[in-house]
Structure 1
Amino acid sequence: MTEKMETVLDVKDLKVEFDTPDGTVQAVKGVSFSVSRGETLAIVGESGSGKSQTMMGIMGLLAANGRVSGSARYAGEELVNAPLRVLNGVRGSKITMIFQEPMTSLDPLYRIGRQISEPLIHHKGMSKGDARARVLELLKLVGIPEPERRIDSYPHELSGGQRQRVMIAMALANDPDLLIADEPTTALDVTIQAQILRLLADLQKKFGMAIILITHDLGVVKHVADRVVVMRRGEIVEQGPRDDIFERPQADYTKMLLAAEPSGHKPPPPPGSPVILEGRNVTVDFAIGGGFLAGGTRTFRAVDDVSIRLEQGQTIGIVGESGSGKSTLGRALLKLLPSAGYVRFGQTEISKFDRAAMRPYRREMQLVFQDPYGSLSPRQTVGEIITEGLFVHEPQLSKAERDARAVAALKEVGLDPATRNRYPHEFSGGQRQRIAIARSMILKPKVVVLDEPTSALDRSVQRQVIELLRDLQEKHGLSYVFISHDLSVIRAISDHVIVMKDGKIVEQGDTEMIFDAPRADYTKTLIAAAFTH
């Protein structure tokens, strides 16, 4: 790192504030730090600590009710409140950003190849043909399977992890001086996560690029960072070289973060517990069009002859890499997409039910999505979002009764009920996920499919959410299908684990058996990647 002394970004006394119905919220309270060429600076802290808003303020990307002050100089040029032409010359070319929630950053109407090529055409003046060739290179670099086919896919046709890799490809397109990576591996399984981190390290070494890594995953930080900034409630509690932070932390808060890890063990439900949800020989096929000129379609089998039995009070954890069919299986069990095979809820076969026939069962079969921001309406307050289902399933409730239920639901998930008049963009990623959980729990369901519900949360909040889900399960007799690529979370919350690859079940069994004595080579690889991280 011979060029380390050349400062790429110098931040001094940066403040970010938001005007809300409840008054001014100070999200960032005067932070100062710098990052040098070839250096990786990690910014860590719990959800709501101000990590992401610091970067959004620097880049001029705050919501309309946000204000930024202080200084952030890139190569000597002030970015805070700079004219739009200055920011447009820097953003996407000199400084690029990988966002935490890729589905909100990718345009659903355009194919991914076109979206990645736009900064190449705009900033480098490439022709469409040259840009397409470069996009294919980038898709290969970030590990997208079948890039020649995926270049013409739409965002909704990709898994969460694949969408995040598209965002990384877009950010790297113009060989930036500074890459701001906001939770870049959040949606990725452990094996792909390791590949992405190696890729970023290789590109950094090749181009001398500086990286600011915003993350809650201290395992990632320990692996890749040169220096660490620890934030809490909008302030820096300590910063320094990575080894000092991990081996000689000074602040109690840093010590707490380092000690936080999902733990515990969920006992199985009592013998003879009734089966609440069953799928037999579930198969999901997607028709992939060849386009008007190409003609014809082909079939992609996302879930291949899978059987599953969920008992009352049981948690089945489903693990596997991105694209393994985990989320598709969860949606098929809830009859949210067409599938073949047999599905039973309680004593009722729902295999052939259409949308109208499923409606009475929807309140009892809930889904918590992987991407909370994409599933929460930006035009509704949190209170309106949480109570929306009550209008459909309990229309007799008065406004006061609905509000009381919203207050109770927010308390159950550890959020201040006074915040129910705020909008989703005013919350951190972790807080938004708890809002999504509250929206499901308010309907008092029997089965909840949780699709990566803790992927956006820092470790300390993950632990709280897992304890919350356990408490809710015990209190209400809930059954969970818990989909995740995070094996430490799966181990802490599941009593039965299913391992999936390429749409099939590789192996399954009791949690401790899977983790302590895995039989399949694929399972062994996943566990090795997770726990040697």
Structure 2
Amino acid sequence: MSTQSKKPVLAISNLTVDFETATGTVNAVRGVDIHVNAGETVAIVGESGSGKSQAMMAAMGLLASNGHTGGEVIYEDRNILGLPVSKLNAVRGRKITMIFQEPMTSLDPLYTIGRQLAEPLVVHGGLSWKAARAKALDLLKLVNIPEPERKIKSYPYEMSGGQRQRVMIAMALANDPDVLIADEPTTALDVTTQAQILDLLADLQKRLGMSVIFITHDLGIVRRIADRVYVMKTGEVVESGETAAIFTRPAHPYTRMLLDAEPTGHKLPVPDSTPVLLEAQKVKVEFEFDTGFLQPKHILRAVDDISFSLRKGQTLGIVGESGSGKSTLGRAVLNLLPAGGRVVFKGRQISGLDRAAMRVLRKDMQLIFQDPFGSLSPRMTVGQVISEGLLVHEPALTARDRDARACQALEEVALDPAMRNRYPHEFSGGQRQRIAIARTMVLKPELVVLDEPTSALDRTIQKQVVELLRELQKAYGLTYLFISHDLAVVRAIADTVMVMQRGKVVEAGTVDAIFEAPKSDYTRELIGAAMLTQQQMMETA
């Protein structure tokens, strides 16, 4: 971490962002000043809804249509804020690039990964399509995508969340930008891959002299990579300074609260006499991929003969690197994709049931997705999104009853019910995840598969959500299959843990057994990477 020059390569002054909504004007960013010097890494931290992402979206000219901005964004001695799109496009995507928090909103589902990586190299870099494809392959290797020669032909839906995020990083770095704005770029990544990506960004920054603005809620990352820190709260910068000073001598109470936030607690295992709610026997999922004309198809076994049982009220945490098969397993047990083996729910075999037969069970078996923005309709208000399931599963409810249930669900996830008339794009990533949780919980299911439900949330909100999930579990007897790469969250919420690698279970047991006495080298590697971040945080206390 070094500052090569005191002249800002990008200077944001008195930036304001306002959104016009059905309930009035929302002042998302209020008079913010941020700058980054050449070769410097600046971190912007704060809770979900603090305005950190919206400030950078405004600087890039990427606000939603109901957003308005003021102030100045100075790059190369001119204000780029408000430039016509034709002139702005000469800067963004080439000189200033951005890695978005939710990759599925940025990757076109109709084009291969290779095509999408090559396009900016052709448009902004002037390469031929042949040369661009060759460089795209190099970029996939650079960001440690497995089997890059095959993945370059893949579509976004064929990749895990972490792999999609790495593709976005490769795309942003394609034209060697002066400024890289990274909005939670490691959110979807497991701890080992996260460390690789951070090392990669640091290496590229050193080699290219690139400036980085790093938006994150993970203070362990900030401590590791940033030269300076801006702390934002409710649209304003409440504290800024050198990273070491912020972490060792925080001046603002809000900064101290962020540093102290960490999911805590310990869930006791359910008794062995508790009835089994879900049982999986030798579940396997295979995908076929074309390898070329007259070539045999490539078979990928994403889930390889996995068995487990889940008792009522139990929380089984499934951990592993991106691409380990944990999300695919979650969908397989819900019968959302073709799978071999046998799955039994409440004594009834559900594997092989058709869509009509499964419909009556869906209310009791719910899934919370990793990417909330991709699962929330942009054409519906939040209230409509949350109450949509009630129209299907509880049709006798009146419109007033559905609205009341939606308000209750929003309160349960610590959101103001008055927000129900807004649209998903008007919320931060963390707020959208809470909306997704509310949409599921409004149905009061028996089994919930939670696929990275806290990955987009800052630590303070993670802690609240973990406590919320515990309260809901206790109140309604819920059973959770909790998929996550965040070992701190898994340790706080689960009573049993299953560790996956390349589609197989490498270790399983109680939380205490897995975290205190792991048997496999892979489990020890995961825990070691997580403990490194925790140790960095403790060193600043």
What is the TM-score with the length of structure 2 in the denominator? 0.97
Determine the C-alpha separation between the residues in 2 that align with 1:180 and 1:213.
6
Partner of 1:5, secondary structure, is coil
Equivalent in the alignment of 1:86: 87
Task: Report the number of matched residues.
Answer: 532
The structural deviation recorded for 1:7 is 1.4
Do the aligned residues in 1 keep the contact of 2:319 with 2:484 (CA within 8 Å)? yes
Query: Structure 2 counterpart of 1:529, which letter?
Result: A
Determine the C-alpha separation between the residues in 2 that align with 1:195 and 1:77.
36
Q: Does 1:386 align with 2:386?
A: yes
The structural deviation recorded for 1:86 is 1.9
Partner of 2:523, secondary structure, is helix
Equivalent in the alignment of 1:177: 178
**Shift >6 Å, 4+ stretches:** none
Q: Does 1:196 align with 2:201?
A: no
Query: Structure 1 counterpart of 2:356, which letter?
Result: A
Equivalent in the alignment of 1:235: 236
Q: Does 1:491 align with 2:491?
A: yes
Equivalent in the alignment of 1:411: 411
Determine the C-alpha separation between the residues in 1 that align with 2:178 and 2:85.
20
Determine the C-alpha separation between the residues in 1 that align with 2:486 and 2:87.
40
Equivalent in the alignment of 2:282: 281
The superposition leaves residues 1-42 of structure 1 with CA deviations (integer Å, 9 ceiling, x where unpaired) of 463223110111000000000000000000002100110000
The superposition leaves residues 50-93 of structure 1 with CA deviations (integer Å, 9 ceiling, x where unpaired) of 00000000110000000010001012121111121221000110
Equivalent in the alignment of 1:522: 522
Determine the C-alpha separation between the residues in 1 that align with 2:430 and 2:238.
20
Partner of 1:144, secondary structure, is coil
1:272-311 to 2 correspondences below 5 Å: 272-291=273-292, 293-311=293-311
Determine the C-alpha separation between the residues in 2 that align with 1:480 and 1:179.
38
Determine the C-alpha separation between the residues in 1 that align with 2:128 and 2:520.
48
Structure 1 residues 489, 77: closer, same or farther in 2, change over 3 A?
same
Determine the C-alpha separation between the residues in 1 that align with 2:325 and 2:244.
39
Q: Does 1:31 align with 2:3?
A: no
Equivalent in the alignment of 2:373: 373
Q: Does 1:22 align with 2:23?
A: yes
Deviates more, 1:5-14 or 1:58-67: 5-14
Partner of 1:435, secondary structure, is helix
Gaps of at least 5 residues in structure 1 are none
Determine the C-alpha separation between the residues in 1 that align with 2:431 and 2:425.
10
Equivalent in the alignment of 1:338: 338
Query: Structure 2 counterpart of 1:531, which letter?
Result: M
Do the aligned residues in 2 keep the contact of 1:121 with 1:131 (CA within 8 Å)? yes
Equivalent in the alignment of 1:136: 137
Query: Structure 2 counterpart of 1:350, which letter?
Result: I
1:426-441 to 2 correspondences below 5 Å: 426-441=426-441
Query: Structure 2 counterpart of 1:16, which letter?
Result: V
The structural deviation recorded for 1:294 is 4.9
Equivalent in the alignment of 1:252: 253
Partner of 1:116, secondary structure, is helix
Query: Structure 1 counterpart of 2:198, which letter?
Result: L
Determine the C-alpha separation between the residues in 2 that align with 1:290 and 1:129.
19
Equivalent in the alignment of 1:53: 54
Partner of 1:466, secondary structure, is helix
The structural deviation recorded for 1:270 is 3.0
Determine the C-alpha separation between the residues in 1 that align with 2:468 and 2:210.
41
The structural deviation recorded for 1:296 is 4.0
1:352-367 to 2 correspondences below 5 Å: 352-367=352-367
Query: Structure 1 counterpart of 2:449, which letter?
Result: V
The superposition leaves residues 355-389 of structure 1 with CA deviations (integer Å, 9 ceiling, x where unpaired) of 11111000000000000000000000011111111
The superposition leaves residues 450-509 of structure 1 with CA deviations (integer Å, 9 ceiling, x where unpaired) of 000000000000000000000000000000000000000000000000000000000000
Query: Structure 2 counterpart of 1:25, which letter?
Result: V
Determine the C-alpha separation between the residues in 2 that align with 1:361 and 1:2.
58
Do the aligned residues in 2 keep the contact of 1:99 with 1:184 (CA within 8 Å)? yes
The superposition leaves residues 413-459 of structure 1 with CA deviations (integer Å, 9 ceiling, x where unpaired) of 11111111110000111110011001111111000000000000000
State the identity %. 64
Do the aligned residues in 1 keep the contact of 2:3 with 2:40 (CA within 8 Å)? no
Do the aligned residues in 2 keep the contact of 1:7 with 1:75 (CA within 8 Å)? no
Query: Structure 2 counterpart of 1:82, which letter?
Result: L
Determine the C-alpha separation between the residues in 1 that align with 2:85 and 2:432.
30
Partner of 2:62, secondary structure, is coil
Equivalent in the alignment of 1:109: 110
What is the TM-score with the length of structure 1 in the denominator? 0.99
Query: Structure 2 counterpart of 1:196, which letter?
Result: I
Determine the C-alpha separation between the residues in 2 that align with 1:525 and 1:349.
37
The superposition leaves residues 127-185 of structure 1 with CA deviations (integer Å, 9 ceiling, x where unpaired) of 11110111111100000011111111000000000000000000000000000000000
Do the aligned residues in 1 keep the contact of 2:3 with 2:37 (CA within 8 Å)? no
Equivalent in the alignment of 2:154: 153
The superposition leaves residues 296-316 of structure 1 with CA deviations (integer Å, 9 ceiling, x where unpaired) of 422110000000111011000
Query: Structure 1 counterpart of 2:526, which letter?
Result: L
Do the aligned residues in 1 keep the contact of 2:4 with 2:40 (CA within 8 Å)? no
Determine the C-alpha separation between the residues in 1 that align with 2:139 and 2:352.
43
Query: Structure 1 counterpart of 2:262, which letter?
Result: E
